[in-house]
Amino acid sequence: MEEPKDELTYRRRMPIQIRFNDADSYGHVNNNAYFSYYDLGKMDYLNSVMGADGKAHGVVPIVANISADFFHPVFYGDEIVVETCIPRIGRKSFTLQQRAVNLKTNTVVCRCSTVMVCYSLKEKKSVEVPADFRAAIERFERDE
């Protein structure tokens, strides 16, 4: 699959350490390992930008949908970073866009889209994106 053009600005970057057991019998990083890389990038973004641990108001973002496109193989020893941004905020959800970049080749090797729904731990249902979450995302994403 050819890598499509990307017009987004990714302001959050997290280096990923590829583990030996991430490689499959073909010698490249197995596709399922990328989702753990994206989880690390997601938690880094949520914690640093939104402080989204749920303690303040009992609302946490949970995954409603996740999909990935794979463009190039990655091998043990490659240097990878996961870049994350939030280009869309809805009433009860927001979309994280992430990509894995191979620093050795300066290429996007995989791209991931995740829809996160805000969930009330007390009410056990989806709720509106808290105003402080929305403000933190908007502030972070528009800062130059």
134 three-class SS: helix
Residue-wise pLDDT for 11-53, tens only, equals: 999 999 999 999 988 889 999 999 999 999 999 999 998 876 6
The predicted model scores a pTM of 0.89
Q: What is the H or E stretch that residue 44 is in?
A: helix 31-45
- Residue spans of the domains in the chain: they are 12-142
Say yes or no: domain 12-142 is CATH 3.10.129.10.
Answer: yes
